[in-house]
Structure 1
Amino acid sequence: MVSFISTVPSFVSLIPLPSGSFQTYSTTPHSSPINCKIGADFDGDDRFPRRRLLHCLGATIGMDFIARSSSFVEVANAADLIQRRQRSEFQDKIKGTLFDALKGNPDIVPSVLTFALNDAMTYDKATKSGGPNGSIRFSSEISRPENKELSPALTFLEEVKKEIDSYSKGGPISYADLIQCAAQSAVKSTFLASAIRKCGGNEEKGALLYRAYGSSGQWGLFDRQFGRSDAEQPDPEGRVPLWATSSVQAMKDKFSAVGLGPRQLAVMSAFLGPDQSATEALLASDPEVSPWVQKYQRSRETVSQTDYEVDLITALTKLCSLGQQINYEAYSYPVQKVDLSKLKL
């Protein structure tokens, strides 16, 4: 590290000179200074302006500080990388737990999807309140008419949470995160099941088909929305429609209120009730929604289902982040330090 004093000469040559009479110094060895009339900014002959010299020293000290602080930046970057790895590993383990749990209870998938939708649909743009904050877990909210069929989903997720919390090194998972991660796993399970059906029920071939043609890479932004905080009380009533009895217009109005349109309404038909076919038949009666319903029905008949899958992932990603402040340090934990003095070489 070069000391800041040793850098002063190089800065001297860069000092801006007054536009009027001044004295300049040559940095060439054995050269004589050019003597000019001294201005009022100087203390005396053959000396630099104090003000400009202080500016020079201040800049030099600042650069010296920046150089010395680079080690702190490196430490901060390393800590950030460690936290990212910890969160990523935790997420991967959560996905495995949820996949196994859903595979053992496939009938719960529709309820898990609606559960995630209803938790998020409490979002209110005007007040910036509600959204996917886990408030649906409160007894007064889960008992509302729009949620009365979703108690099994809550029971299911409570059991999954116990398992996840048992191996979490960075504290218990929030319900807000768990609910949306469960929706992600439920969506993936439906695509995997579709691939298996297209392979005549062969699970191994179906898994290969899904890995080859699925849109797993589209989940990157969804995975970064990890670190939601739980609400401490139920969200206000009257924000979520009773999907089973709502008109298409009422559904469109609600989706529009949270920033989603007819396209997202059509692609999320599986979230609106246990009978997707019946829901889509209703949605197809609306001229705005019908083209999208038909588009996704055709897409599901293809091997890749790309249009349907990509648009569904995009819609769910937007839904799962409505009004949420993500804590990107959540679930990270201090790394145990190694005592080098105890290592045997």
Structure 2
Amino acid sequence: MALPVVDTEYLKEIDKARRDLRALIAYKNCAPIMLRLAWHDAGTYDVNTKTGGPNGSIRNEEEYSHGSNNGLKIALDFCEEVKAKHPKITYADLYQLAGVVAVEVTGGPTVDFVPGRKDSKISPKEGRLPDAKRGAPHLRDIFYRMGLSDKDIVALSGGHTLGRAHPERSGFDGPWTREPLKFDNSYFV
């Protein structure tokens, strides 16, 4: 697949937004929810229908009101602070950039960010994200729908090294690791 093409001015705005996100995430201590926002926007992709995915549609009330997105309005509002300063950047790019920066500021690897995602106002139907209560066959169905493998399931599950479960969001409570604001491999050990 060809990479999207953006102009030099857009790339400069991305760099500025990256700095602003870094400051916001450090100040608000919100890396886990920003990574969750990026995943929940991207995790709706369907490889067969080419629908869903990282397209910014999670900003629509119809989508952020899905049960699996409980609590993400907080992250959307944080992103609006950055969007107001960088209106040329698409929501699709902004949300994915927020996830990238969240990983980086918590000690994870530097992630090459390729901008150029288009915004969509079309929200996918509820039920495209994994449900923690449904087990391995369900996880495989969800990830295979995105064109991903069992190895990808394991790798992406490592994102749970950041943050904690909140009963009002997922029905579960507590951190996934001993240091929920540090991106490392402790989720696996």
The answer to whether TM tops 0.5 is: yes
Q: Quote the Cα distance in structure 1 between the aligned partners of 2:176 and 2:149.
A: 16
How does 1:122-201 map onto structure 2 within 5 Å? Answer: 122-165=44-87, 172-191=88-107
Mapped pair 1:275 → 2:164? yes
- Is residue 113–residue 270 contact of structure 1 (8 Å, CA) maintained in 2? no
Change (3 A) 1:160 1:269: same
- Is residue 33–residue 75 contact of structure 2 (8 Å, CA) maintained in 1? yes
- Is residue 269–residue 279 contact of structure 1 (8 Å, CA) maintained in 2? no
How does 1:187-336 map onto structure 2 within 5 Å? Answer: 187-191=103-107, 215-216=109-110, 219-220=111-112, 223-224=113-114, 226-243=115-132, 245-272=133-160, 274-275=163-164, 296-297=185-186
Secondary structure, in 3 states, of the residue corresponding to 2:97? Answer: helix
Q: Quote the Cα distance in structure 2 between the aligned partners of 1:271 and 1:123.
A: 18
- Is residue 13–residue 89 contact of structure 2 (8 Å, CA) maintained in 1? no
Change (3 A) 1:90 1:237: same
Structure 2 spans left out of the alignment, 5+ residues: 166-173, 178-184
Which one has more relative contact order, counting CA pairs under 8 Å at least 6 apart?
Answer: 2
Change (3 A) 1:278 1:299: closer
Secondary structure, in 3 states, of the residue corresponding to 2:68? Answer: helix
Q: Quote the Cα distance in structure 2 between the aligned partners of 1:255 and 1:143.
A: 22
How does 1:32-111 map onto structure 2 within 5 Å? Answer: 84-106=7-29, 108-111=30-33
Structure 1 spans left out of the alignment, 5+ residues: 1-79, 166-171, 193-214, 281-295, 301-345
Change (3 A) 1:130 1:299: closer
Instruction: Report the structure number with the largest CA radius of gyration.
Output: 1
Q: Quote the Cα distance in structure 1 between the aligned partners of 2:35 and 2:158.
A: 7
Structure 2 counterpart of 1:141, which letter? E
- Is residue 141–residue 234 contact of structure 1 (8 Å, CA) maintained in 2? yes
The CA deviation at 1:146 is 0.3
The CA deviation at 1:181 is 0.4
Secondary structure, in 3 states, of the residue corresponding to 2:32? Answer: helix
Secondary structure, in 3 states, of the residue corresponding to 1:152? Answer: helix
Q: Normalised by the size of structure 1, how large is the TM-score?
A: 0.44
Q: Quote the Cα distance in structure 1 between the aligned partners of 2:176 and 2:60.
A: 28
Greater per-residue helix proportion: 1
Structure 2 counterpart of 1:179, which letter? Y
The CA deviation at 1:177 is 0.6
Q: Quote the Cα distance in structure 2 between the aligned partners of 1:85 and 1:136.
A: 27
Q: Quote the Cα distance in structure 2 between the aligned partners of 1:102 and 1:234.
A: 26
Secondary structure, in 3 states, of the residue corresponding to 1:132? Answer: coil
Structure 2 counterpart of 1:138, which letter? N
